[in-house]
Chains A and B, each alone.
Chain A
Amino acid sequence: MVYLDNAATSFPKPQETIESLNRFVTSVGGNPGRSGHPLSIEAARIVFDAREKLAALIGGKASERLIFTRNGTESLNLATLGLVKEGDHVVTTSLEHNSVMRPLDFLAKTRGVEVSVITCSDKGELDLDRLKGAMRKTTRLVIVNHGSNVIGSVQPIAEIRSAIGDVPLVLDACQTVGSVPIDVEAQGIDVLCFSCHKSLFGIQGLGAVYLAPGIEPRPLTFGGTGSRSEFTEQPDMLPDRYESGTPNTPGIAALLGGLTFIEKVGLEQIRKKERGLRRRLISDLSALDRVTVHGNPLDDDALPVVSITMQGLSSSDIGYECSRGGVCVRVGLQCSPLAHRTIGTFPEGTVRISPGYFTTDEDVGRLMEVIEGLAKR
């Protein structure tokens, strides 16, 4: 089976991920921060090490400000529901995933929050003048998709930062952390939201959010933290304030393995491999008459997330033929209806091909056999 759906979750995982997860579930197993016994302490050390490594990867100097969540969606919910208040104004882009659009829709309908959506070009470019022009005195947040899960376009953080002044910037980095270098402090990112099972090579069920100093959203959940247990009031110390209940320690252990792998290989090498895969895909797909590659095929800085449509064939038909040919791709709207309106593929959607670090030339060759076969029909 050829797996080309790494934008949904990376697969396969590196050996480091599997070994770290295996070690936790077979010989550690304790609940971190909940007891004084050795296996609880060892579990807490795994969480601590993963937190320190991950904070370092994104340039976060205060590792306690790196909060583990269930997924990128929960991180974005904490940023939106936790920070935006009645009557606030929020600016975002037309490339956002529903993990941004749906909480904003909820806030607009229930709390009178005004949302300005900046329409991007069909190549995925954000018009910085329009972004600047959309800012108001009441703008509470600017939320930007760093790397598109539909067409792979990557937004320029420095330019966005200077266009929005002092307003807090929330970056949806689900597709970029672990692939594109990020430095929250140097780049002025106030809230960095991401999942840990894509380019970070953890397993599903874990996300994270980095909160810059001064950013203090209302928690989404309240409860036991293993600290200040004599009080019924939620503690205000980080990370405990935002991590009530037993954490996903197996997931965090797997992430620790993934981070070790990234350290070993290096972000540069990972990015180089991904660039090569994108180039090969773009070149092979663009050569076929009936195939349209969406976004900007010439953008060499884009992620290896390639959306195509084929003249005379629906995306579901192509997806079905890929599955029959042993190739896993994602079809439809990829939870991003606005992004598809932006690139002109709504409501039909696209076939999204997303190779990953472990994708081989043979894998791409197998996909191309299927697509070329369809193109000849």
Chain B
Amino acid sequence: MQRDSIYYLLFSTIHDVLKAEKRLKETNFDFELVPVPRHLSSDCGVCIKTPVSPAELLSLIPEAETERCFVFDGKEYVTYSR
């Protein structure tokens, strides 16, 4: 994966987003909660935006249901597969 990729982690519910946030706050990983980009979903919720690879992050949030992960390479969003 290229070095300055940005990842978006989408969850089913705000409850799951905040469960993931609670877990990630216990780490030093860089992340923030942002509105779900309109390209990815017409949802009105928030998702996690991070430069850290989902491979690392998802191992930390096993019980939270991560719906979809996307990689943003500066131009377009591509579905990230584990």
Chain B residues, CB < 8 A from A230: 41-43
Q: Which of B20-77 contact A (CB under 8 A)?
A: 22, 33-36, 41-46, 65
Give the A-B pair count, Cβ closer than 8 A. Answer: 64
Closest to A228 in B: B43
Shortest Cβ gap from B20 to chain A (Å): 11
Q: Is A14 located at the chain interface by the 8 A CB criterion? A: no
A239–B17 CA distance with the chains assembled, in angstroms: 13
Q: Is B6 located at the chain interface by the 8 A CB criterion? A: no
Cβ B46 vs Cβ A36 within 8 A: yes
Max chain A C-beta neighbours (<10 A), residue from B13, B15, B22, B41: B15
Closest to B46 in A: A36
A335–B53 CA distance with the chains assembled, in angstroms: 57
- The SS class assigned to the A binding surface is loop
Q: When the two chains form the complex, which single residue of A45, A52, A229, A237 contacts B43, counting CB atoms closer than 8 Å?
A: A229
Shortest Cβ gap from A253 to chain B (Å): 15
Max chain A C-beta neighbours (<10 A), residue from B13, B22, B35, B36: B13
Chain B residues, CB < 8 A from A238: 13, 15
Cβ B33 vs Cβ A41 within 8 A: yes
Shortest Cβ gap from B73 to chain A (Å): 22
How many residues from A make CB contacts under 8 Å with B? 25
Q: Which of A211-269 contact B (CB under 8 A)?
A: 225-230, 235, 237-240
Shortest Cβ gap from A249 to chain B (Å): 12
Shortest Cβ gap from B32 to chain A (Å): 10
A228–B12 CA distance with the chains assembled, in angstroms: 8
Q: Is B78 located at the chain interface by the 8 A CB criterion? A: no
How many residues from B make CB contacts under 8 Å with A? 20
Q: When the two chains form the complex, which single residue of B18, B34, B44 contacts A229, counting CB atoms closer than 8 Å?
A: B44
Chain A residues, CB < 8 A from B12: 227-228, 235, 237, 240
Q: Is A138 located at the chain interface by the 8 A CB criterion? A: no
Chain A residues, CB < 8 A from B34: 36
Cβ A48 vs Cβ B35 within 8 A: no
A32–B13 CA distance with the chains assembled, in angstroms: 11
Shortest Cβ gap from A192 to chain B (Å): 18
Q: Is A51 located at the chain interface by the 8 A CB criterion? A: yes
Shortest Cβ gap from B33 to chain A (Å): 6
Cβ B18 vs Cβ A36 within 8 A: no
**Given known A44-B18, A45-B18, A226-B44, contact A36–B13 (CB-CB < 8 A):** no
A71–B47 CA distance with the chains assembled, in angstroms: 31
Cβ A32 vs Cβ B14 within 8 A: yes
Q: Which of A59-73 contact B (CB under 8 A)?
A: 63-64
**Given known A227-B14, A239-B15, contact A33–B42 (CB-CB < 8 A):** no
A238–B46 CA distance with the chains assembled, in angstroms: 17
**Given known A230-B42, A230-B43, contact A33–B14 (CB-CB < 8 A):** yes
Shortest Cβ gap from A237 to chain B (Å): 4
Task: Name 11 A/B residue pairs within 8 A (Cβ), A-sorted.
Answer: A33-B13, A33-B45, A34-B44, A41-B33, A48-B22, A52-B22, A63-B15, A227-B12, A237-B13, A237-B16, A240-B12
Please provide the 3 A-B residue pairs with the shortest distance between their CB atoms, ordered closest to farther.
A36-B35, A33-B14, A48-B18
Q: Which residues of B contact A (CB under 8 A)?
A: 12-19, 22, 33-36, 41-46, 65
- A48-B14, A237-B13 provided; 10 other pairs, C-beta below 8 A? A32-B14, A33-B13, A35-B44, A41-B46, A45-B18, A227-B45, A228-B43, A238-B13, A238-B15, A239-B13
